[in-house]
Amino acid sequence: MTAPAASTAPPPTAASGSFLSKLEIDARMLGMLAALAAIWIGFDLLSGGVFLTPRNLWNLSVQTASVAIMATGMVLVIVTRNIDLSVGAILGVVGMIIGVAQVQWLPAYLGLEHPLTAPLAVVLAMVIGGSIGLFQGWLIAYMSIPSFIVTLGGLLVWRGAAWWVTTGQTVAPMDTRFKAFGGGVEGALGATTTWVIAAVACGLIIIALGLSRRRRMRFGFPVRPGWADAVIAAVACGIVLAAATIANAYPLPAGTARRWAEANGLVWPEGGLFIPHGVALPVLIAILVGLVMTFIATRRRFGRYVFAIGGNPEAAELSGINTRWTLMKVFGLMGLLCGISACISTARLNAATNAAGTLDELYVIASAVIGGTSLAGGVGTIAGAMLGALVMQSLQSGMVLLGVDTPLQNIVVGAVLVLAVWVDSLYRRRIK
Amino acid sequence: MQTNGTTPLVEMRNISIAFGGIKAVDGVSVDLRPGEVVGLLGHNGAGKSTLIKILSGAYKPDAGEIYVNGEHADIATPRDAKRYGIETIYQTLALADNIDAAGNIFLGREVLTPYGTLDDATMEAETRKVMARLNPHFRRFKEPVKALSGGQRQSVAIARAIYFNARVLIMDEPTAALGPAETQQVADLVLQLKKEGIGIFLISHDIHDVFGLADRVSVMKNGKLVGSANVQDVTQDEVLGMIILGKCPPGATPGPGAS
């Protein structure tokens, strides 16, 4: 593939050479996808074909959502050369508060199962999470306390606060509509919605590629060859459609399907009905969060400042960037995302427990780092971190499927984290 | 201090700043007129860079005033300095290594689309224009500046300073990291900008550099101004004496730091 591509090398500014550089795809990202494929295929073989079933992949996607959402924020935190050790504890305290809000506070005014309960709980979660994040960000940016210390303190404080909300009692069950955020039957969007979302996504991918191409051509900049854009569009749409197909290949369990059919006035046939789950709401939220965060990180001034601060804090300051306010907003955003994740994990559990989110900070940081975020700052992508979260969750789910003991699971995940960072540092040294 | 009628573009009067009890800059006054190059000389640690960072808004002075075009200027942040048309090329270049040339040139002053997103295409187009003037061979617009050579990085830093119509340019050791050809390029650029009426503070510890380009020199030692002189009125040896011994020769106007 390389030879013909090289012979048609257009202007000297375009990357001359390989197929991959023409596509302008990050080789690192490709490596991660390869690792993910290896993990999936490996587990599938070891588990006798159970791993790569629609059912397992669907569950995997739901399990990944919470950590993946927080990992997108952690990327920006780590890019600014900071760390947030408190995300699990923030998730815990927010989950506890919205649990109590749904079960005790809101019903007192609205009555049980009011349609506003779920939206109010989500808004409350985002406000509380965001406020906690902003407060910690203020301590870090304006009081100049190292983020490691502030968030280490935060880990203890917010975990303690989570206990304090109900003095340790678990709160359950959640509002029915709220439970949709956790996936499950309530949060499965169904086949039609899934196909519509997939079609819209494909359309947007093609439009975005076309617009970016036209814009570069108008300025006379070098563009990717047409076939490369076509390949990218085809691959991206292919992935979207494949994911939709898989989500729609996982039927509701017979009992649930029957209840659903009856509720929708359908006659329950003898052989049962194949009612697909479709994409799960938490997964859709995670994807939207990923898109919004990517937009913020790459297309907004705020994102540019975040990366500039990570690349050279002094230079950022000297160029007139309000680095403190930017930093405070980064932590505020992180807290807000913890709030969203708190909704998902509380809804999924259908209960608020004060242990929710325990150790999540480590999984979130590990996801970001496996996803190529450099702890030295300045480097990282949202998509990479989400993929990192998927890799971590795949390992864990796979081991659960194989019946590996929990201690051994932790040993493997820990070892993989170290291995991933080592391989990454080798790769970076080589391309330098 | 000599005056020749025109209002100084920039005047710093009795500037002092201390860090932890040590007076890094102590009662220094310097000025700069349009189209003039003033060399700031002194040993490492003499306070040149600190003085200049006060002008560029990186530090806030403990005492003293800054006047721009004869009017009192309140410079508390780098943004303030830029509003007065004061641009700085720092010794460290102050580039964000992980961002490309356009991102660095427009850092803090991004061009936005009507939707409030970064207008990368316009910024890249403008970068291509300004770089074509400074460094015609520059091609690596899409790469983080980390990947660039010393000279290329320098030209990005210079491009950032001159793109926004600077009236005062501060160059802190602009040639310290450059080879002979690139040093010559910087010298040519200084002369060209001077012709355009831009005032330039040139900071260096190499007096040969400064004598070739500057109209006047001001020498600092231990945070104090030893003296200022037109370059025609003093010899290089005399200026060396000012730098090393703090001795002010007859051709120069002595400052508080003269021994």
| pLDDT per position as a tens digit, B81-124 | 999 999 999 988 899 999 999 999 999 999 999 989 999 889 99
Phi, psi of A54 (to 5 degrees): -50, -40
Size of interface A-B (CB pairs under 8 A): 83
Question: Which range is least confidently modeled, A118-127, A136-145, B2-11?
Answer: B2-11
Structure tokens at A330: 């980064």
Q: Is the pLDDT of residue B150 over 90?
A: no
Q: Is A381 helix (H, G, I), strand (E, B) or coil?
A: coil
Quote the minimal CA–CA distance from B91 to chain A in Å.
11
Instruction: Return d(Cα B66, Cα A307) in angstroms, integer.
Output: 33
Shared domain check, A66 and A54: yes
Identify all chain B residues contacting A300, using CB atoms and an 8 Å cutoff: 116-118
- Greatest mean pLDDT among A20-29, B93-102, B166-175 lies in B93-102
Shared domain check, A402 and A325: yes
CATH of the domain at A183: 1.10.3470
Q: What is the mean pLDDT of residues A329-347?
A: 97
Instruction: Return d(Cα B258, Cα B111) in angstroms, integer.
Output: 48
Shared domain check, A84 and A169: yes
Q: Which residue of B has its CA nearest to A311?
A: B96
Number of domains present in the structure of chain A: 2
A4 pLDDT band, cuts 50/70/90, is very low
Shared domain check, A84 and A179: yes
- What is the structure's pLDDT at A22? 61
% of chain A beyond a pLDDT of 70: 94
Quote the minimal CA–CA distance from A33 to chain B in Å.
24
Tell whether A301 is covered by a domain.
yes
Contacts of A105 (CB under 8 A, 6+ apart): none
- What is the structure's pLDDT at B246? 86
Encode pLDDT of A121-130 as tens digits.
999 999 999 9
Contacts of A100 (CB under 8 A, 6+ apart): A165, A166, A171, A352
**Burial (0-12, 13-18, 19+ Cβ within 10 Å), A199:** middle
Nearest to B99 among A295, A307, A320 (CB): A307
Q: Is the pLDDT of residue A428 over 90?
A: no
Interface residues on A facing B, Cβ-Cβ cutoff 8 A: 12-13, 215-216, 218-219, 221, 295, 298-301, 304, 307-308, 310-312, 314-321, 378-379
ipTM: 0.89
A19 pLDDT band, cuts 50/70/90, is low
- Average pLDDT of every residue of chain A: 89
Tell whether A122 is covered by a domain.
yes
Tell whether A170 is covered by a domain.
yes
Shared domain check, A164 and A53: yes
Q: Is the pLDDT of residue A27 over 50?
A: yes
Q: Which of A254, A279, A304 is the last residue of a domain?
A: A279
Shared domain check, A90 and A48: yes
Tell whether A234 is covered by a domain.
yes
Nearest to A301 among B78, B92, B118 (CB): B118
Q: What is the mean pLDDT of residues A244-265?
A: 84
Kind and range of the H or E element at B238? helix B236-245
Q: Is the pLDDT of residue A14 over 70?
A: no
Identify all chain A residues contacting B143, using CB atoms and an 8 Å cutoff: none
Our CA angle for A75, A81, A82, nearest 5°, is: 75
Handedness of CA A167, A170, A176, A177 (dihedral sign): positive
Top residue of B56, B107, B123, B126 to mutate, by most chain A CBs within 10 Å, is: B107
Q: A388-391: list long-range contacts, CB under 8 Å, 24+ apart.
A: A388/A32, A388/A71, A389/A64, A389/A67, A389/A68, A389/A71, A389/A363, A389/A364, A390/A36, A390/A60, A390/A64, A390/A68, A391/A32, A391/A35, A391/A36, A391/A39, A391/A367, A391/A420
Contact (CB<8Å) B98/A311: yes
Q: Which of A221, A244, A279 is the last residue of a domain?
A: A279
Quote the minimal CA–CA distance from B108 to chain A in Å.
5
Shared domain check, A256 and A231: yes
Contact (CB<8Å) A318/B90: yes
Shared domain check, A137 and A65: yes
Helix axes A323-349, A301-311, angle to 10 degrees: 110
> Within its chain, how far is the Cα of B233 from the centroid?
24
Q: Going edge to edge, which strands form the sheet with B253-254? A: B86-89, B168-172, B199-204, B37-41, B216-221, B224-230, B253-254
Q: Is the pLDDT of residue A401 over 60?
A: yes
Shared domain check, A201 and A171: no
Q: Going edge to edge, which strands form the sheet with B10-19? A: B22-32, B10-19, B63-68, B71-73
A64 pLDDT band, cuts 50/70/90, is very high
Tell whether A14 is covered by a domain.
no
- Average pLDDT of every residue of chain B: 88
Encode pLDDT of A30-47 as tens digits.
888 899 999 999 999 999
Tell whether A127 is covered by a domain.
yes
Q: By the CB < 8 Å criterion, does B112 face chain A? A: yes
Q: Which of A253, A279, A305 is the last residue of a domain?
A: A279
Shared domain check, A243 and A132: no
Identify all chain B residues contacting A312, using CB atoms and an 8 Å cutoff: 94-97
Shared domain check, A312 and A169: yes
Identify all chain B residues contacting A13, using CB atoms and an 8 Å cutoff: 139, 141
Q: Is the pLDDT of residue A298 over 50?
A: yes
Shared domain check, A239 and A346: no
Tell whether A426 is covered by a domain.
yes
Supply the range of the domain harboring residue A266. Answer: 188-279
Tell whether A129 is covered by a domain.
yes
Q: Is the pLDDT of residue A171 over 50?
A: yes
Identify all chain A residues contacting B125, using CB atoms and an 8 Å cutoff: 219, 221
Q: By the CB < 8 Å criterion, does B58 face chain A? A: yes
- What is the structure's pLDDT at A21? 63
Q: Is the pLDDT of residue A253 over 90?
A: no
**Residue whose structure tokens are 């961002």:** B99
Quote the minimal CA–CA distance from A243 to chain B in Å.
30
Q: Which structural domains are found in chain B, ordered by start?
A: 7-85+166-259 (3.40.50.300), 97-165 (no CATH)
Contact yes or no for A39/A30 (Cβ under 8 A): no
- What is the structure's pLDDT at A180? 92
